Structure 1
Amino acid sequence: MRYLEITVPRDRRRAVLAVLDDEGIEYVIADEATASTIEDAAVVRFPLPTRAVEPVLDRLADAGLDDARVVVIDAQTVVSQEFDELRDQYSRGGTRGERTSRQVLRTKADAFTPAISIYLVMLLISAVVATAGLLSDSPAVVVGSMVIAPLLGPALAASVGIVTDDAELRSRGFRYQTIGVAVVIVASIAIATLARLGGFEPSGVDIVVVAELEERVSPNVLSLAVALGAGVAGILSLTRGFSEAIVGVMIAAALIPPAAAVGITTAWGMYGAALGAFVLVVVNLLSINLAALVTLWVAGYRPQTPGPGLFEVSPTRKRTATYAVLFGLALAILTAPLVGITLLEFQTTQLTSTADEAVTEVLEDPQYDELEAESVEVVLDDEYPIRSVDRVVVTVRGLDPGPQPDLADRLYERVAAETQESVVLKLQYTVGEERGEPDEDVFFRTVRSG
């Protein structure tokens, strides 16, 4: 519920009261001396259901209320039979959803965008925590970095500014998002560089695997779900009064860890991996903005252009459609690599299953009774972000394993027959009932087929 206080010129009092009477709104009117530029003003106060704020203000604008001062206050309780009837009137068939008016929506989006100094400081702290969490392989620390990141307001301000035709809010939203991502990346590069110089990097070990960055430097299309969901949830939190804190964490989850991954991989000189993480950051930014914009449109919010009146609305949809198309096209282009990575994951899963079946079938031969399959692994190359299959590693175990006649040949021929593509197969042996170190005799075989 809302409580409105409107200051109107005396000569337009009759038109304003006619609108309120027609809507069945209880009001109080008083003549008050004000320090504003409105001479001989009257103040009208009345409660409204949340859903009624926007249409009532639009009707007042049509009545010529073009130089009024309006204050909208949250109201906890209104005890009135007339108010109950008014609330039922705007409940749309019994559904009493709390749809925030576009005037209040703009104010809330602005309120969730902090001052630039606080914004930068909190993002620096979040970047340090996220980088430390990724390098130390600590999910709890990474989650902590999301909690303190003030990204909710900037992530939604641009879309709200578009649909409410608030150029300043729109510009600030885009500007804050760009600055925020840049700050996190630069800070992460600095922290990761210090960590590398300090000897954090394990000798001969891939930092992407050690720090569990792989899903962020080589993302698939499922990564879009987080960002799209965050955009939708963010708008619902503003328009329906859901928990903004939880939604803010969700938005940060789509932006902070990938941005920190860009910094870490850049500091380690893995520029392909850094490119993959950066693509994910941009894709998530576009997804959040597109999802927020579409959700606002579906919820019934429309663009407005400044006119002579405070609430005069001109539903110019061109600007909103233009931004939606731009977001959609950019997202479609950048999603192409993610589709390729997803297809590779399907291929890898299928190849692993095929190789596993081939190994089981070949080892069923009586001459290999002393051997059993230890593992089958499909290894990808290090060409981030779009990788490819490098080799298939087959490990067999036995009490006293040694080179088996034609085993490598039979395995790669069987795998090649199933995959119909070039494969590099590596066969290695382990000794004993328990998993041991690979035998010194390791066999490599390349298949060229198809």
Structure 2
Amino acid sequence: MRLVQLTIPTGKRQTILETLDERGIDYVVTDEDSDRKYTAVVYFPLPASAVEPVLDEIQETGIDDDAYTVVVDAETVVSRRFEALREEYENGDVGTDRISRQELQAEADSLTPTFSVYSVMTIISAVVATAGLLLDSPAVVVGSMVIAPLIGPALGASVGSVIDDEELFRHSVSYQVIGVVLAIVAAAIFAWSVRTMNIVPPGLDIAGVDEIAERLAPDLLSLAIALGAGVAGIISIATGTSVALVGVMIAAALIPPAAAAGIAIAWGQPSAAIGSTALVLVNVLSVNLAGLLTLWYVGYRPENLFSLDKTQQRVRRRVLGLAVIVLVFAVFLGAITYSSFVVSNFEENARGEVEMTLSEDEFSEYQLLEFEVVMDDNYPFVSPEQVTATIGGPQGEIPPELADQLHERINQHTDETVTVEIRTVGLVER
């Protein structure tokens, strides 16, 4: 429910009050005695879904932007006429649960902090995420998402496009670009400092850290996070519900991959940053695409009906452009996913070959103790480089024919030759 406060310009009092009466809206009018050219102020309660159509109709009577309008939350309204309005405008779907276009624009503006605050919070978030990734700590990584101020710019571009506010659109796009660059640069500088000062163990293999490795070679499922975040973000602000948790979800799609890209750069492995950087870009675009489609679906349109066709064409172009770029990135992520699938299959088959070989009668006295597949550094399309099998036997050594068979059988499952290293451990019988 909303309480609307509207100033009435000179000569418009009769027209505005007649409009409210025709709509069956209760109102209170107070005379205005300021030096400005207004005769009165009218107050009237509305269901949230009725704010936009009622204000649009009032504006058509000749109310311009010089007359200010204030819309505030109303906790309780007791009125039979108000209940009739609610039944008229609310039918339970998302389109009628949404806030007005005017409130949406104000909400999008309020979610974006000043540039200095945005920059500082983004840098802090990236630094915390970098520390969490290097510590392999999911809790710290989640903490970095909470402080990231990304939801405003991420959704503001979609709002600006749909309601024909090009200033909001450009402002939000520039914030997103700056935010991504700041996050990657801040992560790279912090990771380089940590490495230079030996705060992390010397020779740390970032590919061996699970929290980092999963973002260096992202898969296609990562795209679902960004699309879901965009839809949830728009629905949350469009219905006036809390956006805090949705902001964390959007940050989850952007901050950790950006931090992983910075770490890869700091470790002197720019090729390893390709996958995580691509993930950041596709997530940014997917959030914007999902937000744009959702806003149009729930019924937001520009204020000026004469600009509707122009806005529709612009929205279509932006949706098409975003969809094509996201599709290209999706193909890229799909290729990474397929590569990971091939590697997983190889690891499973290679282990199976070792176990099958050792189960044969001539090698039954040997047993597999440990098995490891070492990947190369060709991110994001990694491939197996070496297989290391630790085998226990009664004499602490294995016959050459066993090593030959293992090498031959393992390499049957890969197009390129993989080094097979056999380590032996003597087992003492008791």
The Cα offsets for residues 43-95 of structure 1, whole Å up to 9 and x where unpaired, read as: 22100000111111222233443454221111111011111121111122699
Mean alpha-carbon deviation: is it higher for 110-119 or for 142-151? 142-151
Q: Does 1:369 align with 2:364?
A: yes
Is the 1:30–1:43 contact (alpha carbons within 8 Å) kept by the matching residues of 2? yes
Is the 2:136–2:212 contact (alpha carbons within 8 Å) kept by the matching residues of 1? no
How many Å separate the matches in 2 of 1:282 and 1:224? 11
Is the 1:286–1:327 contact (alpha carbons within 8 Å) kept by the matching residues of 2? yes
How many Å separate the matches in 2 of 1:209 and 1:167? 45
1:323 corresponding residue in structure 2: 318
1:48 corresponding residue in structure 2: 46
Amino acid paired to 1:426 = V
How many Å separate the matches in 2 of 1:138 and 1:79? 52
2:161 corresponding residue in structure 1: 162
The Cα offsets for residues 113-170 of structure 1, whole Å up to 9 and x where unpaired, read as: 1111111222222222222222222222222221111111111111111111111211
Q: Does 1:429 align with 2:427?
A: no
How many Å separate the matches in 1 of 2:189 and 2:355? 49
- Alpha-carbon offset, residue 427 of structure 1: 4.0
1:3 corresponding residue in structure 2: 3
Q: Does 1:264 align with 2:259?
A: no
1:439 corresponding residue in structure 2: none
Amino acid paired to 2:155 = L
How many Å separate the matches in 1 of 2:83 and 2:102? 23
Of Structure 1 and Structure 2, the greater helix share is in 2
2:58 corresponding residue in structure 1: 60
Amino acid paired to 2:76 = T
- Alpha-carbon offset, residue 294 of structure 1: 1.3
Q: Give the total of aligned pairs.
A: 427
The Cα offsets for residues 352-375 of structure 1, whole Å up to 9 and x where unpaired, read as: 222233223222211111112234
2:26 corresponding residue in structure 1: 26
1:332 corresponding residue in structure 2: 327
- Alpha-carbon offset, residue 262 of structure 1: 1.8
Distance 1:416 1:384, change over 3 A: closer
TM-score (norm 1): 0.87
2:399 corresponding residue in structure 1: 404
Of 329, 349, 352, the match for 1:357:
352
Distance 1:433 1:60, change over 3 A: farther
2:16 corresponding residue in structure 1: 16
Amino acid paired to 2:84 = E
2:245 corresponding residue in structure 1: 246
Is the 2:28–2:44 contact (alpha carbons within 8 Å) kept by the matching residues of 1? yes
- Alpha-carbon offset, residue 41 of structure 1: 2.8
Q: How does 1:151-190 map onto structure 2 within 5 Å?
A: 151-190=150-189
Distance 1:301 1:137, change over 3 A: same
Q: Does 1:115 align with 2:137?
A: no
Distance 1:71 1:254, change over 3 A: same
TM-score (norm 2): 0.91
Distance 1:231 1:94, change over 3 A: closer
How many Å separate the matches in 2 of 1:264 and 1:120? 20
Distance 1:233 1:367, change over 3 A: same
Q: Secondary structure at the match of 1:30?
A: strand
Of 334, 337, 341, the match for 1:342:
337
Is the 1:91–1:97 contact (alpha carbons within 8 Å) kept by the matching residues of 2? yes
How many Å separate the matches in 2 of 1:91 and 1:368? 76
Is the 1:6–1:71 contact (alpha carbons within 8 Å) kept by the matching residues of 2? yes
The Cα offsets for residues 272-320 of structure 1, whole Å up to 9 and x where unpaired, read as: 012222111111111111111111112111244597xxxx966730111
How many Å separate the matches in 1 of 2:131 and 2:77? 51
Is the 1:259–1:277 contact (alpha carbons within 8 Å) kept by the matching residues of 2? yes
How many Å separate the matches in 1 of 2:211 and 2:427? 31
- Alpha-carbon offset, residue 269 of structure 1: 0.7
How many Å separate the matches in 2 of 1:126 and 1:95? 33
Amino acid paired to 2:420 = K
Q: Secondary structure at the match of 2:208?
A: helix
How many Å separate the matches in 2 of 1:40 and 1:223? 55
Q: Secondary structure at the match of 2:11?
A: helix
- Alpha-carbon offset, residue 413 of structure 1: 4.0
Is the 1:188–1:260 contact (alpha carbons within 8 Å) kept by the matching residues of 2? yes
Q: Which runs of 4+ in 1 moved over 4 A?
A: 93-97, 304-307, 312-315
Is the 2:403–2:422 contact (alpha carbons within 8 Å) kept by the matching residues of 1? no
Amino acid paired to 1:51 = S
Mean alpha-carbon deviation: is it higher for 363-372 or for 13-22? 13-22
Is the 1:201–1:207 contact (alpha carbons within 8 Å) kept by the matching residues of 2? no
How many Å separate the matches in 2 of 1:179 and 1:40? 43
How many Å separate the matches in 2 of 1:263 and 1:208? 14
The Cα offsets for residues 367-388 of structure 1, whole Å up to 9 and x where unpaired, read as: 1111122344433210112222
Is the 2:56–2:303 contact (alpha carbons within 8 Å) kept by the matching residues of 1? no
How many Å separate the matches in 2 of 1:273 and 1:304? 47
- Alpha-carbon offset, residue 196 of structure 1: 1.5
Amino acid paired to 2:69 = V
